[in-house]
Amino acid sequence: EVQLVESGGVVVQPGGSLRLSCAASGFTFDDYAMHWVRQAPGKGLEWVSLISWDGDSPYYADSVKGRFTISRDNSKNSLYLQMNSLRAEDTAFYYCAKPGRDGYDYYFDYWGQGTLVTVSS
Amino acid sequence: QSALTQPASVSGSPGQSITISCTGTSSDVGGYNYVSWYQQHPGKAPKLMIYEVSNRPSGVSNRFSGSKSGNTASLTISGLQAEDEADYYCSSYTISSTPVVFGGGTKLTVL
C-alpha cells in the first residue's frame, strides 16, 4: 500500500525557516519524480515544487523560487522541502504527492495527509 | 488568481447529472491531454478522480467522466449522490514557468 506521511509543520515567525519531510513507502521511490502542493486554509490547491527521481532537476513555483529548496534522499525514501524567508502567505497545508507514472508525470495518484505550516508573529 | 478557471459552485439534486468546467489556454488545457480532476472532502487530502482528460483510476465510480474541447475541460458526475458533495479541482500540465497549474476549485452541493 502506498503511503506518504508528511511532518515538520509548526508555527514559525515571518522570516523564519522550516524543513518539511515526507516519508514514502509502498512503491519504488527512486523511480518517481515527486511534488509538493500546498493549500492555504479555505483556499485552493497551489503547485509548489517538483524534483526529478535522481534529485538533479528541481522546479519551483514563482511564488517560492529563491526561498524554498526541494531535495530527496532515495536511500531513506524521503522527500524534503527547506523553506526559508517565510512569509504570512506561505501559511498552508503542505502535501507531498506522487505522480501516476514513473519518470515525470503531471497527475497525482497518491497524496499525503498534509502538514500545516503557520507563519505568524 | 488561478491559472485555470472553474465555476465557484455548482449544485444538483440526487440522481441528476452535473458538469464542472475548467477553462485554460492553448499553453495548458488546450495544448496537452494532461488534464486531471481531484475530489476533496473537508479536512481530507485530494483524491484523483480523472487523469489524462478522460481516464478513471481503478476504484473510481464510472459515474465520473471527463472530456475536453478546445481550451475547456469538463468533469461530469452522473447519478449524483450525497457523498459526491465536495470540492473539485482541475489541473493541467503547462508549458509556462511552472509545469503544473490548478483551477480555483468548484464546490459541489448536493441538494
Q: What is the pLDDT tens value at each position of chain B, 111 positions in all?
A: 458 999 999 999 999 999 999 999 999 999 999 999 999 999 999 999 999 999 999 999 999 999 999 999 999 999 999 999 999 999 999 998 889 999 999 999 999
Residues A100, A28: contact at Cβ < 8 Å?
no
CA distances from A119 to A11, A59, A69, A75, B40 (A): 6, 23, 18, 31, 24
- Partner residue opposite B46 with nearest CB, options A45, A50, A59: A45
Look at phi and psi of residue B56 and say left if phi exceeds 0, alpha if psi is from -120 to 50, else beta: beta
Flag whether residue B93 sits within 8 Å of chain A, measured between CB atoms: yes
Flag whether residue B92 sits within 8 Å of chain A, measured between CB atoms: yes
Q: Compute how many other C-beta atoms are within 10 angstroms of the C-beta atom of residue A12.
A: 18
| Residues B108, B85: Cα–Cα separation, whole Å | 5
CA distance B85 to chain A (A): 16
- Give residues 1 to 60 of B whose Cβ lies within 8 Å of A: 2, 34, 36, 38, 45-48, 51-52, 57
| Residues A51, A64: Cα–Cα separation, whole Å | 14
| Residues B1, B49: Cα–Cα separation, whole Å | 24
Question: What's the pLDDT tens digit per position in A57-116?
Answer: 899 999 999 999 999 999 999 999 999 999 999 999 999 999 998 877 899 999 999 999
CA distance B101 to chain A (A): 7
Q: Compute how many other C-beta atoms are within 10 angstroms of the C-beta atom of residue B81.
A: 12
Question: What's the pLDDT tens digit per position in A23-35?
Answer: 999 999 999 999 9
At B101, list the grid cell: 497549474
Per-residue model confidence (pLDDT) at position A105: 82
